A and B are shown apart, each in its own frame.
Chain A
Amino acid sequence: VPHTCDWRKVAGAISSIRNQGNCNCCWAMAAAGNIEALWGINFLKFVNVSVQELLDCGRCGNGCYGGYVWEAFLTVLNNSGVASERDYPFRANFRPHRCHAKTSNKVAWIQDFIFLPDNEQRIAQYLATYGPITVTINMKYLKLYQKGVIKASPTTCDPQFVDHSVLLVGFGSDKSEGMGAETVSSPSRHPRSTPYWILKNSWGAQWGEEGYFRLHRGSNTCGITKYPVTARVQKPNVKPQLSCPP
């Protein structure tokens, strides 16, 4: 596993930050971001896929009240692909019977989707090798988050109660002055390293670190290992053309 990985450094691979507005469709935006990134790094095709199609054509209906990332993948599989954002634009609302997947031109499709083990080392390895992964976390700390690495305890951020889906796009370590837990045995002050995940949110670019945020890596902070799931756009074991830049 490399020390750092940041898929945002591959031009075009990570689409711009979306804003779900009044529609609880983080699950569809995370899935769309996952598919876009995988098409970019596997086929060097940089597309923006339609979140609205995932909302309108999902089996569960009314995705503006919430949904599951894997439902979005099932919708893409059922429709043998997904239209572009341009052809099927986002409207931040849901109307029954509005799905027009059959008439829209597909710009991306997936082979299947997989869940990953709830192990942060394995997740990091997969992320660096195959590309971004969607995760579902407890969003308690996000509403008033501005910047930096969030490190919460299971009592303040219950890892079993997850309610927000986002896209994992990289990881690294934050060097900052101060006494770290690892250095307690040598009280002298020297740089403390805080390993973190980089996550893409769907609350607009004015929130957080230009739409992104960072969670501590290695402590299952806010339940990040509970539902790591990603689409696959290639046959198993076929590696993408690009690898994750440090």
Chain B
Amino acid sequence: GSLTAQDLGPQPLELKEAFKFFQRQFNRSYLTPEEHARRLDIFAHNLAQAQQLQEEDFGTAEFGVTPFSDLTEEEFGQLYGHRRAAGGVPGMGRVVGPEEPEES
């Protein structure tokens, strides 16, 4: 069935199994039990997030466990985002269209 944040409670068995499988699949290990527990929580949160994206999507996409399932949004944004463009493009604007390739 679907795992959502509400009904996770103490970590259910299948969540732990899923997390073990994730660790094997993407070669993840954590130095301390505390870190492991924290990453498990983040993993559960991301599963719930994936469920929400699934409900929001109008296409045929599938969301779920990926190599980033143990990262928070902040960590993911720091590692894989493209921060500077978020502020827009200073003074660049549109330059040419295909039918005027002579301009550049």
User: Which of B57, B71, B101 is within 8 Å of A141, CB to CB?
Assistant: B57
Contact of B68 among A20, A143, A152, A153 (CB under 8 A): A143
Contact B83 A152 (CB under 8 A): no
Choose among B49, B56, B64, B83 the residue with the greatest number of A CB atoms under 10 Å from its CB: B56
B76: chain A residues at CB < 8 Å are 143
Contact mask A205-246 → B, CB, 8 Å, 1/0?
011100000101000000000010000100011000000000
Contacts of B59 in A (CB 8 A): 148-152, 194, 196, 216
B35 to chain A, nearest CB (A): 18
A residues less than 8 Å from B64 (CB atoms): 144, 146
CB distance from B33 to the nearest CB of A (A): 25
B96 at the interface (CB under 8 A from A): yes
Are B50 and A144 in touch, CB under 8 angstroms? yes
Chain A hits for B60, CB < 8 A: 148-149, 151, 174, 176, 194
Q: How far is the CB of A190 from chain B (nearest CB, A)?
A: 16
Looking across the interface, which residue of chain B has its beta carbon closest to that of A70?
B92
Main secondary structure of the interface of B (DSSP, over half): loop
Cβ-Cβ contact count across A and B, 8 Å cutoff: 146
Q: Does A44 contact B (CB under 8 A)?
A: no
Chain A residue nearest in CB terms to B71: A143
Q: Is the CB of A149 within 8 A of B83?
A: no
A116 interface residue (CB < 8 Å to B): yes
A27 touches B (CB below 8 Å): yes
How many Å from the CB of B46 to the closest CB on chain A? 6
Q: How far, in angstroms, from A165 to B82 measured CA to CA in the complex? A: 7
Within the complex, what minimum Cβ distance (angstroms) separates B20 from chain A?
17
A117 to chain B, nearest CB (A): 4
Closest to A122 in B: B98
Contacts of A214 in B (CB 8 A): 61
A residues whose Cβ falls under 8 Å from a Cβ of B: 20, 22, 24, 26-27, 65-68, 70, 112-118, 122, 125-126, 136, 139, 141, 143-153, 156, 161-165, 174, 176, 194, 196, 203-204, 206-208, 214, 216, 227, 232, 236-237
Query: Can you list 28 pairs linking A and B with CB atoms under 8 Å apart?
Result: A22-B79, A66-B81, A66-B83, A68-B85, A114-B96, A114-B104, A115-B94, A116-B96, A122-B97, A136-B85, A144-B50, A144-B53, A144-B69, A145-B62, A146-B61, A146-B66, A147-B61, A148-B60, A148-B61, A148-B62, A149-B59, A149-B60, A165-B82, A174-B60, A203-B80, A206-B67, A207-B67, A207-B68
Not counting A150-B57, A162-B86, a sample of 12 additional A-B residue pairs whose C-beta atoms are within 8 angstroms of each other reads: A65-B84, A114-B96, A114-B101, A118-B94, A139-B81, A143-B66, A143-B76, A145-B63, A151-B58, A161-B86, A165-B85, A227-B85
Closest 10 CB pairs of A and B: A151-B59, A236-B101, A148-B61, A66-B84, A66-B83, A149-B59, A151-B58, A148-B60, A144-B50, A112-B104
